[in-house]
Structure 1
Amino acid sequence: MMPVSVADLVEVRSLRLVPKTSHCGTAVRPISWVSTTELPDPVPFLRGDELVLTTGLYERTDEQWWELVDRLARLPIAALCFGTGLVHRTVPDVVVRAAEQCGLALVESPREVPFIQVSHWVADRIFAEQYDAVRANVAVQDELVRALLAGNGLNGLLSRLYVHLGRTPVAVVGMDGVVLARFPQRAALPDSAVRRPVAIDQVPVAQVCADIPAHFESVLSFAANILGLEIARHQAVLTGRRELLGQVVEDVLEHVISDREGRARLARAHVPIGEPNHVVLAVVAGPADRLRRLPWAVGQLAERRDDHQPTAVIDNTAVLIVPATADVERIAAELRDRLAVLDPQVGVGVSTARPGVPGLRIGYAEARQAGAQGPGVHSAGPLSVTGLLAAGVDLPLKELAETTLARLLRYDAEHDGELLTTLRAYLDHDCSPSVTASALTVHRNSLRYRLRLIEQLTGRDLARLTDRIELWFAVAALSRGDGEP
Structure 2
Amino acid sequence: MSILRPLSVTMNDVSVQLTDLLADPALRLRPLTSHCHEGPRPIRWVASTELPDPLPFLRAGELMLTTAMLERSRSEWDDLLHRLAALPVAGLGFGTGLVHHEVPGYVVERAEHAGLALFGSPVEVPFVQISRWVADRVFAERYAQVRRTADVQDALLRELLSGRGLPGLLRRLHGHLDAGAVSVTAPDGRLLARHPAAPEAAAPGTPGTPGTPGTPGTPITVDGVPVARLATERTTARQDLLSFAASVLGLEVARQQAVLTGRRELLGQVVEDVVHRTVPDAEARRRLAAHGIDPAVPHAVVLARVPAGPARLRALPWTLGPLLDRGGDVLPTALVEDSVAVFVPEGVDADATAHTVLERLRAAGPGVRVGVGARRPGVAGLRLGWFEARQAGSTGAGVRTAAPLSLTGLLLGNLDLPLRELGDSVLAPLLRYDAEHGGELLRTLRTYLAHDARPAPAAEALTLHRNSLRHRLWRIEELTGRSLDRLDDRMELWLALHAREAGGEATG
Matched residue, 2:143: 131
Matched residue, 1:308: 330
Pair 354,72 (structure 1): closer, same or farther in 2 beyond 3 Å: same
- For these two proteins, the number of residue pairs brought into alignment is 397
Maintained 8 Å contact 1:5/1:27: no
Which structure would you say has the larger Rg?
1
Q: Secondary structure at the match of 1:285?
A: coil
Structure 1 residue 189 displacement after superposition: 5.8
Maintained 8 Å contact 2:318/2:364: no
Contiguous gaps of at least 5 residues in structure 1? 396-464, 470-485
Matched residue, 1:423: none
Pair 53,27 (structure 1): closer, same or farther in 2 beyond 3 Å: farther
Match of 1:64 among 76, 86, 95: 76
Match of 1:321 among 331, 343, 349: 343
RMSD, aligned CA: 2.3
Structure 1 residue 312 displacement after superposition: 1.0
Q: Structure 1 stretch 131-140 or stretch 378-387: which is displaced more?
A: 378-387
Mapping of residues 325-344 of structure 1, within 5 Å: 325-344=347-366
Distance in 2 (alpha carbons) for counterparts of 1:96 and 1:193: 48
Structure 1 residue 190 displacement after superposition: 8.1
* Structure 1: 4+ residue segments shifted above 6 A: none
Mapping of residues 230-249 of structure 1, within 5 Å: 230-249=252-271
Match of 2:410 among 388, 394, 399: 388
Structure 1 residue 281 displacement after superposition: 0.4
Structure 1 residue 212 displacement after superposition: 4.9
Q: Structure 1 stretch 226-235 or stretch 251-260: which is displaced more?
A: 251-260
Matched residue, 1:455: none
Pair 65,156 (structure 1): closer, same or farther in 2 beyond 3 Å: same
Match of 2:166 among 150, 154, 176: 154
Pair 214,376 (structure 1): closer, same or farther in 2 beyond 3 Å: closer
Residues 1:41 and 2:63 aligned together: no
Structure 1 residue 167 displacement after superposition: 6.1
Pair 104,204 (structure 1): closer, same or farther in 2 beyond 3 Å: farther
Matched residue, 2:445: none
Distance in 1 (alpha carbons) for counterparts of 2:116 and 2:410: 85
Distance in 1 (alpha carbons) for counterparts of 2:398 and 2:115: 69
What's the CA shift string for 1:40-82, capped at 9, x where partnerless?
A: 1111122322111111111111111121122222222222222
Q: Which amino acid aligns with 1:26?
A: E
Structure 1 residue 29 displacement after superposition: 4.3
Pair 94,195 (structure 1): closer, same or farther in 2 beyond 3 Å: farther
Q: Secondary structure at the match of 2:238?
A: helix
What's the CA shift string for 1:308-338, capped at 9, x where partnerless?
A: 1111111111111111221222211111011
Residues 1:116 and 2:138 aligned together: no
Maintained 8 Å contact 2:393/2:400: yes
Pair 225,63 (structure 1): closer, same or farther in 2 beyond 3 Å: same
Q: Which amino acid aligns with 1:236?
A: A
Structure 1 residue 162 displacement after superposition: 1.1
Distance in 2 (alpha carbons) for counterparts of 1:46 and 1:165: 32
> TM-score with structure 1 length normalisation?
0.77
Q: Which amino acid aligns with 1:297?
A: T
What's the CA shift string for 1:181-230, capped at 9, x where partnerless?
A: 22222476687626111111111111111245553111111111111111
Distance in 1 (alpha carbons) for counterparts of 2:244 and 2:379: 48
Mapping of residues 342-421 of structure 1, within 5 Å: 342-392=364-414
Matched residue, 1:263: 285
Q: Which amino acid aligns with 2:323?
A: L
Q: Structure 1 stretch 123-132 or stretch 47-56: which is displaced more?
A: 47-56
Q: Which amino acid aligns with 2:320?
A: V
Contiguous gaps of at least 5 residues in structure 2? 1-11, 200-209, 418-486, 492-508
Structure 1 residue 358 displacement after superposition: 1.6
Distance in 2 (alpha carbons) for counterparts of 1:40 and 1:289: 65
Residues 1:222 and 2:244 aligned together: yes
Residues 1:182 and 2:194 aligned together: yes
Distance in 2 (alpha carbons) for counterparts of 1:190 and 1:373: 39
Mapping of residues 203-218 of structure 1, within 5 Å: 203-212=225-234, 215-218=237-240
Percentage of identical aligned residues: 51
Distance in 2 (alpha carbons) for counterparts of 1:78 and 1:211: 35
Residues 1:143 and 2:155 aligned together: yes
Distance in 2 (alpha carbons) for counterparts of 1:307 and 1:250: 19
What's the CA shift string for 1:134-167, capped at 9, x where partnerless?
A: 1111111111112112232332221111111126
Distance in 2 (alpha carbons) for counterparts of 1:48 and 1:167: 28
Maintained 8 Å contact 1:172/1:208: yes
Structure 1 residue 11 displacement after superposition: 1.9
Structure 1 residue 272 displacement after superposition: 2.2
Structure 1 residue 297 displacement after superposition: 2.3
Q: Structure 1 stretch 224-233 or stretch 14-23: which is displaced more?
A: 14-23
Maintained 8 Å contact 2:221/2:228: yes
Q: Structure 1 stretch 192-201 or stretch 124-133: which is displaced more?
A: 192-201
Matched residue, 1:95: 107
Q: Structure 1 stretch 343-352 or stretch 69-78: which is displaced more?
A: 69-78
Match of 2:314 among 284, 287, 292: 292
Q: Secondary structure at the match of 1:141?
A: helix
Distance in 2 (alpha carbons) for counterparts of 1:370 and 1:10: 83
Structure 1 residue 123 displacement after superposition: 0.7
Structure 1 residue 118 displacement after superposition: 0.9
Distance in 2 (alpha carbons) for counterparts of 1:28 and 1:177: 44
Pair 91,194 (structure 1): closer, same or farther in 2 beyond 3 Å: farther
Distance in 2 (alpha carbons) for counterparts of 1:56 and 1:261: 95
> TM-score with structure 2 length normalisation?
0.73
Q: Structure 1 stretch 374-383 or stretch 127-136: which is displaced more?
A: 374-383
Matched residue, 1:201: 223
Mapping of residues 409-448 of structure 1, within 5 Å: none
Matched residue, 1:14: 26
Structure 1 residue 382 displacement after superposition: 1.6
Distance in 1 (alpha carbons) for counterparts of 2:100 and 2:216: 51
Matched residue, 1:276: 298
Q: Which has the higher contact order (CA 8 A, sep 6+)?
A: 2
Maintained 8 Å contact 2:191/2:212: no
Pair 375,139 (structure 1): closer, same or farther in 2 beyond 3 Å: same
Distance in 2 (alpha carbons) for counterparts of 1:299 and 1:105: 58
Distance in 2 (alpha carbons) for counterparts of 1:139 and 1:159: 16
Maintained 8 Å contact 1:170/1:189: no
Distance in 1 (alpha carbons) for counterparts of 2:215 and 2:112: 40
Residues 1:82 and 2:104 aligned together: no
Distance in 2 (alpha carbons) for counterparts of 1:110 and 1:386: 101
Structure 1 residue 391 displacement after superposition: 4.0
